[in-house]
Amino acid sequence: MQAHKIPLFKHWVSEWLARSVIFAILMTCLFSFALYSSPVTVMGYYGVAPTDVQYAMVLIYGSTVTFLALDSRIVKYFTSRKYLLMALATNGICTLICFHSKSWPLFLICQFAQGITCALLSGIVLHLVFPRLHSTRARVIGYTILYAGIQISIPLYSIYCSMVLHYLDFNWLFYGANILLLLLTATVLITMDAKARLHKKIPLYQVDWIGYLFYTSFVLLLGYILIYGRQLGWFSSTVICQLVLTAVCILILFIIREMRLKRPLINLRIFKAKNFVIGLLLLFVFYLFKGSTGLTYSHLETILKTDPLHTIPIWLAVISATVLSMYVTARFILLGTHLIRMIIVGFIIMGLYYTYMLLFISVTGSTADFILPMFIYGIATGVLFVPIVTFTVSAAPPKIAINASMIGILARFIGFCSSMAVNNELQLFTRAAVQDQVRHAVNQINPQLPLTLQQIEQTYQNAGNDGLKSQVAANAFFNTILKEQILARASRDYYDLMLTGVVLVIIILIFLPKIQQVVLRLTKFNVPY
């Protein structure tokens, strides 16, 4: 019997156990992203700025994106178990280094390496599952399970991180990650056959290593520009101008190289399919809107002073809504419901989330008030994700459809980075506008200002403080209230802009005739991303 025909799992492993191992591999490879569920803790532990933490996320995500394009060749060289064990060992070593070190540059290097291992592990999951699903029904269900796992991994690990950080230091998250990696390694050793491989062995010749270096350099430069652009002053900064010029040159060289190669890293001819490009734009826009939820968690933490443990009900609401809506959406896809109509419905639900936030966000309230909007957000995510991916894959030409996975995850990455850049820019813009209005309203000629300060001061005096302390405390308290009001008003303006964007997307989808022609077409060559 040929090596690539040997069953991947040992003969005594049941189908459900095999599926459980595959799902465990998927969830484990996403653990590194959960470290950023509390950016403030990362900033305090390493002593870095918010933009540095954002770029660390970009680094691990970008490393995953670019290596997935290379993974499709490398996975055909090694046996499956050896490939998995190499990824787990590398991830474990990086996690161990981070556990014993507080060096930020070393942490970034480890994040890049862990991004590669994430690509290795997730690539194995894709190659394990989807080529074996022969019917369209099985593929839709497979897509749904995969994306449900990806979407719920962050809130699920955020619950874990909140509990760990409540009792222990940040570096104990790495300790927990290593325990998880050890358990998975033992499971892989016990259940998987050492000689089995997913594909017939193909030597590592004509692998586009130079293209991979171009691709990685471009992605990481793009992420750096989007994250640090506002801090450096965009194009008024010489550094940003030089980086943009460098990124453009690298992109041009990459495109020229890929168009000339017989076995390119990514077949760029896939961009000739117009509806595929529209699908990529939908993925980009979806992640742009999806990233705005960071403002909601910031509101809970900054204004409502919510303890991380008390955000667990909100995480649970997101998880349950995502799983439920993805299950229902998969059923509608199998029933033949028009993909674009489901996408429009998803954006309408996203618009409801923004409308709720516009109406109810304020400096007062409780954590319970945010359970419903985040449940609505989870539903919108579940309704949008699978139809958008299915639309994009169905629009791709079958002969080169495998490249849809590589381009699709790049679109998600760019949307993710752009959402952080847009959030940073819009929040500064809305806060500046609100502060300008406040400056004209709250000044010394306003007769209400001294009366308000006097009332606050009197409250402190009634509590037993002397006149000087009461005056200082009253001014500090008033400034705190003012800052909270500015932040709440700026948040409402931000959500107003996001709602306008959602409405525009819905209108464009309704009046684009060509996208109505895309029908569900999922072949065995369509690997999701």
pLDDT digits (tens, 9 = 90+) for 180-211: 888 988 988 888 888 877 777 777 777 888 98
In the predicted model, residues of the chain with pLDDT beneath 70 are 1-6, 129-139, 363-365, 401, 429-458, 460-471, 474-475, 477-479, 484, 513-529
Q: Which two tokens stand for residue 521?
A: 């077409």
DSSP state of 9: B
Please name the residue that has the structure tokens 């009461």. Answer: 470
The separation between the first and the last C-alpha atoms of the chain, rounded to the nearest angstrom, is 32
Alpha-carbon distance of 21 to 80, in angstroms, equals 13
Q: Which two tokens stand for residue 61?
A: 């995500």
> What was the pLDDT predicted at 238?
92
What type of residue is 244? V
Chain centre to alpha carbon of residue 128: 23
Q: Which two tokens stand for residue 20?
A: 């459980």
Q: Which two tokens stand for residue 9?
A: 């799992």
> What was the pLDDT predicted at 269?
83
Report the candidate in 515, 268, 525 with the shortest Cα–Cα distance to residue 387.
515
How much is the pTM?
A: 0.85
Alpha-carbon distance of 308 to 94, in angstroms, equals 27
Please name the residue that has the structure tokens 């009001």. Answer: 485
Report the candidate in 495, 475, 494, 472 with the shortest Cα–Cα distance to residue 483.
475
On the CB side of 494, CA atoms within 13 Å amount to 28
The torsion region of residue 343 among left (phi > 0), alpha (psi -120 to 50) and beta comes to alpha
> What was the pLDDT predicted at 84?
86
Report the candidate in 230, 193, 226 with the shortest Cα–Cα distance to residue 61.
226
> What was the pLDDT predicted at 435?
63
Alpha-carbon distance of 22 to 12, in angstroms, equals 16
> What was the pLDDT predicted at 347?
93
Alpha-carbon distance of 529 to 524, in angstroms, equals 14
> What was the pLDDT predicted at 431?
64
Residues 6+ apart with CB under 8 A from 512: 278
> What was the pLDDT predicted at 3?
47
Residues 6+ apart with CB under 8 A from 91: 29, 32, 114, 117, 118, 121, 181
> What was the pLDDT predicted at 339?
82
What type of residue is 403? N
> What was the pLDDT predicted at 170?
82
Alpha-carbon distance of 13 to 191, in angstroms, equals 6
> What was the pLDDT predicted at 1?
37
33, 182 in Cβ contact below 8 A? no
